[in-house]
Structure 1
């Protein structure tokens, strides 16, 4: 009998889509035939990346198609209505956690699926991690004995709190954070110990965010599940990650590290008391070593196969989805069932209902407006990238001078918070759309183009940076702007030769085609803009900022070295050379001066302070300020290149879509052994950056660390 082939659609093209699509592509019984998202560009990018033939922009279009199973990958507040519509149309549903926000609605959906003889699966993916499966087997086999204590930790920093966007659903209400992250912990508890008879909740470490929302960064939940004590610990504060389950049973203790997919059972060795500690610890060490070897081989095998299991998260998603389709024609695993999902949401609702509303609500502040204000006058300045790190400082400076400012943005909500209180006009739209850019440039005299692209392939940068920059410049020429100010990057220089002096007039790396995509893209944009200046009179001014530091930037800055974590860094080279650092407010000041400076068209200006701090000195200061030793390792370029070469050789062997040619020149240039000299910028613009080691440390390291650790 031939195997059934399910036609599957994805509803939502956010970050989680990639994990689902890779897992589905690995299943022979599945055909991924459709993707649906309100943002058509995102849906089309996903369709191109994973070979999905149909693209829809509404649920109604998806419902009119021939898909049989739909993965709901929408924001949590939309789960209930979308799932109901899909079930009522006769489709099976695989739903990302959380199942919903209302336990009553969740139970109704589970019942509806039963009544329609459909499968409703809820993705509590970590329950299908190999390490956790071992823990479940040991418990079922009686190796752990009767359980006494279950402790689940999710101690994992949340960058959203430090850097936004602050209009993310998770941050809008105090309880949302727990509904987003808590189901991971609660699902473990419900699977191992059942539904708790009683619960006590303590939520603390509040922080008030832009937009007026309050978030509790630490939650402790204590419960009793028929005699089994359960403790759930959730923290999103900065710190070393610990995502784990610890169990004390009558016969053994066990620990499942679901961050690393490692399981260890600790039990008596059976040797005499004098030797028991040694043999027990040796047994634990052997288990850890075996786990490490297995995970390394699994990751390598998954990478070579271009499969979904290259890391524990991808493995857990793939296993969960595989288990769902294995049960689609029969009986679903209990951990996936809608009824189990409803139990999890019911427990989450019980927990959040104990949140102290007297401290979860902010006092009203009628004087604080979390939105932009009316421009001071008709906008004559257009800022592209105005909600970014440098852009926010620039917009603040422009409005402080009384100028009318218009900021182009993709999302109005996040821009309202990023620029709250500033008198600016927001222009939402697509930078690649000529008609939109023509309208955004109406009445504009000066353009600041600070935006940058991101991607995994050179084609991504060509499409989202080079082509977009060409469109902006074309429309700026048509609008007759008097000045077009573009920010490049010092990453486009070749700066590995000690003794070289780099200025704003130094040519960019002649070998730029071999460099990283970002440096190459910025250089390509500069070249096309200069051509338009020469051939068509574009009034171009180029700035090349150095390693920009300051409040609002992560202290673990990759301009200093390759930060593997917040406390471990591989320095570029030996870390002894003074780096081309510059404060963000000094960069904004130079850009601001360019608005009115006479006769600077055609000029290229370097934005770096005098050489003040080396990589080692930056790390030493970071250690002192943070109170945590940041361990720095000198790293010659050949070592980083060798690792990159091995990785890219494998990617070429399997014809990975994101493969590239590794470049020793690119890694070597990151050490910045050349000296940067911005004397021309200081002379022409009257620019005076910080100029002292003390100021650079105070405003470039102390302030960002305090902001990050607040």
Structure 2
């Protein structure tokens, strides 16, 4: 089959990787994008020359596809896969392909009945380094294998800082189902169906409502005469995603996150030269692997990183053989074996480690007078709980109907309303006195930001007008200011730059949101107040805070600038207090407030305090802002002129300097007008920002 037309069902984060890989696969093109969010489907479809759809039925009826990739949350995989197979489409299903082996068998049976292919999205099996590793095994280059260790050690920040309404956090078992297929797929492909001998789930962390989730799993198995250990660690840890094989003639380690394969073998030199020769050989291999990967990414303009190559390898293997023998790595029968092994492991884990805390029993229906849009986020969660503690019932707007408030059923209701639906928003605001808009969008172009951020903020303002809301609190950002001059103290009277076309999209978009909402205030009387929090820290926030610098895993950070100037930190509880006070003060209408804590710490001071409090020494280095800018300028040129990407934001040195927060802030206005009192004691600040914030997860 030539010119295979593929549709993507689901336009989230992972869809971009699939789309890019399919575009690079010979004889394949992306023909359709389907998502319940029409803007998401349309935006991605336009970027790839595809047709947008908002229902799978409409995609099927259009006849535009020969195959689909199902990229939705896992609990939707089985019905969608079966629907598409019965309609005559081949399917690839992202991992986990289903939530159980039984469901996976149903998908495979539907594929066999329809005479179509069912593929599992175990993308790392398509990595070039893995193919070389498997070749070593098949050639016997490692001798007789005795042991295999497969590790997935990578921080999963949603466990500690949210969002908590993700599928993988709904049940403890979902965490293993989310990560486990990567590991188990390696074991199954190398050795066949494993016999699971032991499994445990450890290092629990409490989600909101004191609902525990494990952050580590360990599984012991045996297959093909090989002892297999699978380890998952999701706390803040050094990245170690690897497959290590030990044989009688050598030890091979594949870093599948970096596509680096290194083989350690003995040599026949004497006792003096032997260890030196061994280390020189390992050093040469690392140099070769690193150099080859760097050259590959440079020549491809960063289009061939390891993760991208894994998807390309998977798609190439699948679509080159769509009409011939199926590649066993990605076959439906392999998927069944993988999921059965995970089911067997889950069955051996003590039930207490996988139990879900029963939600509190509702004794009355909430009678909300406050609405929080973006209530499942870091600030939104703290604000919602503060409102409840003050005696208010709250309506939280979310993409789904579940939220991080299982312990507050009498006071918090979560409703799912599209932010693009003016009538739906207006109806949801019925009976609401105050609306807190904490929503933000992550856009790649200014055109997208105008629709998804500015358009949404304006629509929420209009809904507040129609519903008769007494106060709208909009949360902007201090990033909209020009903070590049240490000699300029920023107050609420400091204007944003007149021309923000060369500022980062987040700063520019938030400034435009404020401008449009203020226009509604001045022209139509919208009861608006604007809040601009600083760098928010505290319980529920992330360790890897990008307001401070560029992070490289959990152990290294490059600060924006030298890192010696005082940063505009503010505690999360102080932000919630400021927002509540804005809603309670009639004099705050038409005003804006910068919620900046008292001067406390520089970036370097923050990391020194973190080391002192937690015993975690993070490698901190200064970031040369000119170098950041020049690197960004080169990327801009390549994206715009070499890759022909549209809507690329032109970088500026001023924007990079602004990220360093050189300009100090004055917080007199919120203290005077609102009676706001942010934390003044340094030790108390550090205790709340770091010591008790559970930044590491353990």
Distance of 1:687 and 1:104 partners within structure 2: 57
Cα 1:672/1:433, change in 2 over 3 Å: same
Do structure 1's residue 674 and structure 2's residue 663 form an aligned pair?
yes
Please point out which of 402, 417, 420 is paired with 2:408: 420
Alpha-carbon distance in structure 2 between the residues aligned to 1:555 and 1:99: 31
Correspondent of 1:80 among 73, 78, 81: 78
CA 1:256–1:683 in 2, change beyond 3 Å: closer, same or farther? same
CA distance in 2, matches of 1:171, 1:404: 25
2:365 aligns with one of 348, 358, 374: 374
Counterpart pick for 2:263 among 246, 249, 265 = 265
Superposed, 1:32-47 pairs within 5 Å as 32-47=30-45
Task: Please give the secondary structure, in 2, of the residue aligned with 1:594.
Answer: helix
Partner of 2:539: 551
Question: Hey, what's the Cα distance between the residues in 1 that align with 2:636 and 2:382?
Answer: 38
What is the CA deviation profile of residues 579-637 of structure 1, one whole-angstrom value per residue up to 9, with x for unaligned ones? 12211211221221222324333322222122121111111011222211012212232
User: Aligned equivalents of 2:616 and 2:683: distance in 1?
Assistant: 20
For normalisation by structure 2, the TM-score amounts to 0.93
**Residue 502 of structure 1 aligns to a residue in which SS?**
coil
Is 1:341 matched up with 2:341?
Answer: no
- Corresponding position of 1:493: 481
SS at match of 2:419: coil
Instruction: Pick one of 331, 341, 347 that aligns with 2:325.
Output: 331
Alignment pair present for 1:315 and 2:304? no
Is the contact made by 1:5 and 1:31 (CA closer than 8 Å) also made in structure 2?
A: yes
> Once the 2 structures are TM-superposed, how far is the Cα of residue 243 of structure 1 from its aligned partner?
0.7
Tell me how far apart the structure 1 counterparts of residues 686 and 410 of structure 2 sit (CA, whole Å).
28
Distance 1:423 1:107, change over 3 A: closer
Helix, strand or coil for the counterpart of 1:606?
A: strand
Q: 2:131 matched to which residue of 1? A: 133
Q: Which residue of 1 aligns with 2:623?
A: 635
**Contact 1:172 1:213 (8 Å CA) reproduced:** no
Which residue number in structure 2 is paired with residue 644 of structure 1? 632
Report the Cα distance in structure 1 between the residues aligned to 2:50 and 2:353, rounded to whole angstroms.
Answer: 47
Contact 1:371/1:416 (8 A) holds in 2:
no
SS in 2 for 1:303: coil
| 1:38–1:58 CA contact under 8 A, matched in 2 | no
- Among candidates 59, 62, 66, match of residue 60 of structure 2: 62
Secondary structure of residue in 1 paired with 2:608:
helix
Matches within 5 A, 1:353-432: 353-361=347-355, 369=360, 374-375=365-366, 377=367, 379-414=368-403, 416-417=405-406, 420-421=408-409, 423-432=411-420
Supply the distance in 2 between the matched residues of 1:229 and 1:427 (Cα, whole angstroms). Answer: 49
Greater CA drift, 558-567 or 678-687: 558-567
State the Cα deviation string for residues 332-358 of structure 1 (Å, max 9, x = none): 222122222222222222222212224
Question: Are 2:500 and 1:512 aligned?
Answer: yes
Pick aligned residue for 1:577 from 558, 565, 586: 565
- Counterpart in 1 of 2:456? 468
Provide the C-alpha distance between the structure 1 equivalents of 2:410 and 2:646, rounded to a whole number of angstroms: 43
Q: Give the stretch that moved more between structures: 530-539 or 150-159.
A: 530-539
Q: Judge conservation of contact 2:201–2:353 (CA < 8 Å) in 1.
A: no
Is 1:455 paired with 2:453? no
**Matched residue of 1:569: which SS?**
strand
Report the Cα offset of residue 104 of structure 1.
Answer: 4.6
CA change 1:511–1:335 in 2 (3 A) is: same
CA distance in structure 1 between the aligned counterparts of 2:689 and 2:413, rounded to whole angstroms: 30
Residue in 2 aligned with 1:350? 344
Q: Is the 8 A contact 2:91 2:117 kept in 1?
A: yes
**Larger CA deviation: 164-173 vs 20-29:** 164-173
Count of residues in correspondence between the two structures: 697
- For the aligned residues, what is the CA RMSD? 2.6
Q: Give 1:448 deviation, angstroms.
A: 2.6
Q: Gaps (5+ residues) in structure 1?
A: none
Q: Is the 8 A contact 2:542 2:695 kept in 1?
A: no
Aligned-partner Cα distance in 2 for 1:371–1:160? 27
